[in-house]
Amino acid sequence: MESSSNPIQDYLSYALAAAHRKMQASLSTRLKQHGIQIEAWRILETLEAGHRLTMGQLAEVVLMNPPTLTKLVDRMVSDGLVHRQVAQADHRQVNVLPTALGKKRMLQIREEVQEQDIEFQSLLGKDEASKLIELLRGVVQ
Amino acid sequence: MESSSNPIQDYLSYALAAAHRKMQASLSTRLKQHGIQIEAWRILETLEAGHRLTMGQLAEVVLMNPPTLTKLVDRMVSDGLVHRQVAQADHRQVNVLPTALGKKRMLQIREEVQEQDIEFQSLLGKDEASKLIELLRGVVQ
DNA sequence: TGATTTTACTTTCCAAGTCAAATAAATTTC
DNA sequence: GAAATTTATTTGACTTGGAAAGTAAAATCA
């Protein structure tokens, strides 16, 4: 299917959705080999940084709604990748911490994600790729 | 929540997902006022171009998986926005056509989407916005 | 301090999405 | 030209996602 003069292609929201879909599909296929979903990787990668994050903070960083995160963390707990800890300062808050297994798996998966990034960067060219990231950050602010 | 040195921000896939999420959320809120979802708008916008598209072609353009499209088109048929027609040349194929109501509603919704695009374009600057679309197309090819 | 409001997270219920199988028509092969 | 294969779409079982309500702790306030 080829339709070079389709007006929908000119909408920024569409161009973004199309690029996102392609990248997600590609990354998702890669991570499936490791038996993990993209969001779970994001959680492990974020927690690895070492900051003690609450569910709410984590939800924001990993781009998920809180109820969806709750359910994914449930699954990750039963897979032994993370555990929960009620924050001592504020008992409403729940911290999420990676387990030893979670850290180990993250390092393996990170390589896969980096390969993917390199693949797309070489597809675009290095300068174009950094320009793209810069512009995307401008969208988010 | 602010974490300027979080390594996850440096992945192209993450930057793309974050920008996409923000734009989808904003557009989705706008379209909710018209009682329609983003994908349904994409379908109407695509069909408006006048080409006679099959379910498969439409699925590709509107960035949906075929089973998901089938169900959305079911709903749009019962909302009176589109109708199906078995292709005469190949009876396996199904064409989707907009109804008069579908065309009318599309014109209203298009304005909303264009406002949204203008909003984001002025946020980025006109040149940066066209550069972004160009780079995003490079990702998809 | 007791009552009210706000905040953090989870649960519930329903709508929507996915994967694999089913159906049905067209094409290929022998 | 019948049988086997491929292609286009839908169906059905199951899972996931989202909105709104529920729970519980902290903060505000009167």
Number of domains in chain B: 1
| Contact between chains at B49 and A7 (C-beta distance less than 8 A) | yes
Exposed/middle/buried for B35, CB within 10 Å: 0-12, 13-18, 19+? Answer: exposed
Chain B residue with Cα closest to A42: B8
Kindly report, residue by residue over B64-121, the tens digit of the pLDDT. Answer: 999 999 999 999 999 999 999 999 999 999 999 999 999 999 999 999 999 999 999 9
Q: Is residue B45 part of a domain?
A: yes
Residue A131 has pLDDT above 90, yes or no: yes
Domain residues for B126?
Answer: 7-140
Kindly report, residue by residue over A62-107, the tens digit of the pLDDT. Answer: 999 999 999 999 999 999 999 999 999 999 999 999 999 999 999 9
| Contact between chains at B12 and A138 (C-beta distance less than 8 A) | no
Q: Is residue B13 part of a domain?
A: yes
Q: Is residue A73 part of a domain?
A: yes
Q: Is residue A2 part of a domain?
A: no
Contacts by B105-111 with C-beta closer than 8 Å and gap 24+? B105/B34, B105/B36, B105/B44, B105/B81, B106/B41, B106/B44, B106/B45, B106/B48, B108/B34, B109/B31, B109/B34, B109/B36, B109/B41, B109/B44, B110/B41, B110/B45
Q: What's the ipTM?
A: 0.90
Question: Which of A133, A139, A140 comes nearest B12 by C-beta?
Answer: A133
* Confidence category of residue A4, pLDDT binned at 50, 70, 90: very low
Residue B4 has pLDDT above 50, yes or no: no
Kindly report, residue by residue over A15-48, the tens digit of the pLDDT. Answer: 999 999 999 999 999 998 898 999 999 999 999 8
Question: Which of B12, B61, B132 comes nearest A121 by C-beta?
Answer: B12
Q: Is residue B41 part of a domain?
A: yes
| Contact between chains at A12 and B132 (C-beta distance less than 8 A) | yes
Residue B1 has pLDDT above 80, yes or no: no
Q: Is residue B40 part of a domain?
A: yes
CATH number for A82? 1.10.10.10
Q: Is residue A1 part of a domain?
A: no
pLDDT of residue B3: 38
* Confidence category of residue A5, pLDDT binned at 50, 70, 90: very low
* Confidence category of residue A51, pLDDT binned at 50, 70, 90: confident
For residue A61, which residues of chain B lie inside 8 Å, CB to CB? 1, 3, 6, 8
Q: Is residue B2 part of a domain?
A: no
